[in-house]
Structure formats: structure tokens, C-alpha cells
Structure 1
Amino acid sequence: MSVLRDLMEGIRNGGIEVLDLTAPLTEKTPILSLPEPFGQTATFSLQEISRYDDRGPAWYWNNFTTGEHTGTHFDAPNHWVTARDGEDVSRVPVTKLIASAAVLDFSAEAAADPDFLLEIDHVRAWEKEHGPLPEGGWLLYRTGWDARADDAGRFHNADETGPHTPGISAECARFLAEQTPIIGLGVETVGTDAGAAHSFDPAFPCHSFLLGAGKYGLTQLRNLDRLPPTGAVVIAGPLPIVGGSGSPLRVLALLER
């Protein structure tokens, strides 16, 4: 138990910093919009039940409506057809919800080119400098896109040709899924794939390859600029929705100072 006591003491005295990587969840939270005739996810909304009134004099509470993949959220393998019989979000082992993180910072490249794609050579160059990707850990892909999250138009960055947001090439997605020991991929954008990924081969390769390999996704993260390339521990706890393909979640990072 000394390890747990040391952990709590570190949090209390500031030796371990707790960072929130989660975007606030409101009716203005950007959501993924699909073209017709595909079904659409719901925006987040609260429906008041009572607020210290005749409906409930001493309590305030709400119902809420949202989609599984709204705001900062978790992608379970069964979200994609390549893992249609894979884990639902309730069956993700809890030991996998606490994992180390590698942060790959390509914010300068994404600022210069909103369609920037992470390639295998980028990952290998990062590993040459920082060491191998963590066994059973997250690859967190920093693009600076969280700076746009309070403006849905800038966040989606769409024109007549579709959305333009940074992502990962099909070749790199396959490489991460099949040849690296990571548990999954975390991004700052609305989904784990690039805005133009509908035109890739295969379409939406991060979903296709990573979820198909039984790995996971975290999306719409914030504050990755406050994390070092290595050394952080991520706690990502989705709701255990039985049969669910994902869930909004609170993502925390522990960082030793």
C-alpha cells in the first residue's frame, strides 16, 4: 500500500500534477456531421427534471441526451465493421483504462497544412529521439486543433470539398495497428481520422485498422501541449454502456513534476 500512499501524497503536495484533457460538454460541443442519407448523432442537451421547486423542493437534477461519440469520447472496437464482434465499451478491461502515453507533437505542421498526415517515418523519427512507443500505452497525436474547439466552423474547417483536419495516413494507421504495442490513439480532432479520410483507401483507416485490431480511440482531447513526449499516465474512464460502441468520458493525465 506504500505505492498508493506515495501516489496520493504526490497529488496532495503537487509532486504529481493532474491535468484534465477533456473538453467541456455542452450544447455547443462540435459533433461529427455525416452526409445524407447516413444517420446523425445527437448534440448534447440537458432536460431539467426539477430545480428546488414544486417538482422537487430540495434537489436539482436533469436528464440528458447525447450520442456515444459526442465531445471527448472513447471509441470501442465494435464501433467499426472491421471489429463488429469485438469488445463493446462495457467489456473494455479496467486495467486498460490507465496507461502510459507517448505524445507526438506535429502542431507546427498542422498549422501550416490543415490536411497534414502523420506518416510511418514521422513515428520512427520520434522513436529514434524518445525511445519506443509504450507497451500497452496511448499514442497521443498533438496537432494544436483543440485551439479551434470553441468555434464549430473552425473546428470542422470544411469547404465545398469537405472537412480539412489533420490525421494519419492509411499506411501509418495500418502500421500503428499491426506493428506497434500501443493500446490506442488519442487525437484533438472530432474523430481519429483525418477530415479527408472518406477518400482514403480504405476509407477512415484509423477506425478500420486500429479498431479492427482491438485497439481504442480517444477524441477531442485538450491540453496535450502541457504533456511531455513521454512520462505521463492517462486515465480514461468511459461509461460501461452494455452493447455500446463508445462513450463520452473524462480523460485525466498524471504528470510527475
Structure 2
Amino acid sequence: MTNAGKFLALATCTAAIACSAALLAFREDKKEPFPFKNIADLTHTLNKDFPYIPTPVTYPFSMKAIATIEGFGVAANEWRIHEHIGTQIDAANHFIKGGMSAEKFDIKDLVVPVAVIDISARAAKDRDTELTVDDILQWEKVNGPLPENAGVFMYSGWDKKIHSPDFLGLDSSNTLHFPGISKAAATFLVAKRNIAGVGVDVVSFDPGRDRSYQSHRIILGANKWALECLANLGSIPPAGCFAFIGAPKVEGATGGLTRVIAVW
């Protein structure tokens, strides 16, 4: 090797070592390339047994193969699904005539700070309990004001009942029983706080026995989103989280199956 070649090799080696050292220092300074230490899936797995509000037009999820590896060299399934089953989002047009549909959600409203308000102790004693304005104010007393453009999530512990008839709480008079967001709390959130939407770990964010869906009309009437059938809310902190909401971008949709992930 010529002297010039030796110099080039030495210079290349020195530069590589310097770059490696700089990279290691950067990674050490940043600790990890991902800026969050924790991540949680707030989504239930959908299958044929997933509960839904029984009405004359709703039905269970089903899936069948329309192509197989053996027959076509590729596998594909057909789903039979309605928009409001599984962990899912409601858009305004679900209840409001002419309201905004799901594909029109602003993406800034789908990556939001989260406030988890825990009513699980009360819900364990009273399945018809409601999230109240006082619950919100008590959360703020401990954690500070609700973040701007927040997702306000009610944690009742109901996600643990997902495979039990108690999840719906249907009684002999066909009345549903599960916790929800009170009319007063819904009004407070849209009138007094700047929220992106609400979320619950029950099948509907109105209390089960409320057949008039008052909180739906208030929240959705303000063009806020609502998430239902969330999972694992008990595993994330009450404040300091962000949620990534994978809402369906389907023209005219009133909502639909949604993947929700929390990081902190």
C-alpha cells in the first residue's frame, strides 16, 4: 500500500471511530430513539363473540375466507361488520343530522393528551353510576387543568367484564346497566373545557339505562369524537399520556373500528 493509501485508510478509520463515538454519545444522551418509555394498547381484539348494543339492525362480527394460500397463492378474508362494534369511534353524524363524518376528523384531534378519570371504585358498587362534573373537578384538583384539546377517558373497570353478560348488564325489561358520562359532565366538557373528545371502557358513553342518549347528542353535537369499548385504561397514568387514535377514513362513515394506543 502506498503512503497515500495508508493515510487514506487511517483517515477513514479515524472518521469511522469518531462517527461511532458521536452516535453512541447521541444515543446515550437520548437514551432511546423513541421518546416515550411506555406504550399501551387501549384496543380490544374483535371476534365473533364481541358484545354490542342489541337493536333490530345490529349483529355480531363475522369473518370468512374469500381466498386461501392453497387455492390462490394469497389469503384474504371478508368481514361482516357494522360501524359500532369493538373498540370504535363515534363521529358527529352518528347522532346529528348533517354532522361531520369520520373521514373529516382533523388529524390534530387524533393525537391528543389524555386525562383518565377513575370511577372504578364507585362503579364496582353501582353499575349505573355516572361520571360527574365533580369527578372532573377533583381530577383537576390533583392533576391541574385538563390539557388543551384533551381526550377525557372514563375508567370504570368495565373492560374486565368484556366476556361476561355483565358487560351489557341487560335485565328482564331489556334495560342495559353500565356506567357512563352524565349529561351535566358532557355539557361541562364542551362548554367549559377545550376537549378533542371523550372515551369510555363501556359499550356506550351514555349510561346504559339512558335510552335518550343525551350525552351523545351533547358531545357529538359539538363535533367532538367519542371512543367506546376502550381497554386497559387502568394500566395508564391519570395524566401525562398521549393517545394515538387510528380512526377509519371512510367517506360518510358515522364511526368505526379504531386502534387506540397510549404512550407516556
- Please list, as runs of the form range in 1=range in 2, the aligned pairs for 1:1-257 lying within 5 A after superposition: 9-10=33-34, 15-34=36-55, 39-54=56-71, 56=72, 58-81=73-96, 84-151=97-164, 153-161=165-173, 162-198=175-211, 203-255=212-264
Q: Which structure: greater strand fraction?
A: 1
List gaps (5 residues or longer) in structure 2.
1-25
CA drift at 1:7? 10
TM-score for the superposition, normalised by structure 1: 0.87
User: What is the rounded CA distance, in whole Å, between the counterparts of 2:168 and 2:258 in structure 1?
Assistant: 21
Are the equivalent residues in 2 in contact too, given 1:188–1:219 (CA < 8 A)? yes
Secondary structure of 1:122's aligned partner? helix
Residues matched between the structures, number: 235
Larger Rg: 2
List gaps (5 residues or longer) in structure 1.
none
Secondary structure of 2:38's aligned partner? strand
The one-letter code sitting in structure 2 at the alignment partner of 1:77 is A
User: What is the rounded CA distance, in whole Å, between the counterparts of 2:38 and 2:261 in structure 1?
Assistant: 10
Secondary structure of 1:183's aligned partner? strand
Secondary structure of 1:163's aligned partner? coil
Correspondence for 2:7 = none
The one-letter code sitting in structure 2 at the alignment partner of 1:52 is I
CA drift at 1:109? 0.4
Residues 101 and 149 of structure 1: CA distance in aligned 2, closer, same or farther (over 3 Å): same
Are the equivalent residues in 2 in contact too, given 1:178–1:213 (CA < 8 A)? no
User: What is the rounded CA distance, in whole Å, between the counterparts of 1:147 and 1:241 in structure 2?
Assistant: 30
Secondary structure of 2:116's aligned partner? strand
Are the equivalent residues in 2 in contact too, given 1:100–1:136 (CA < 8 A)? yes
Greater than 3 Å deviation, 4+ residue runs: none
TM-score for the superposition, normalised by structure 2: 0.85
User: What is the rounded CA distance, in whole Å, between the counterparts of 2:139 and 2:248 in structure 1?
Assistant: 33
The one-letter code sitting in structure 2 at the alignment partner of 1:75 is D
Are the equivalent residues in 1 in contact too, given 2:180–2:204 (CA < 8 A)? no
User: What is the rounded CA distance, in whole Å, between the counterparts of 2:153 and 2:204 in structure 1?
Assistant: 13
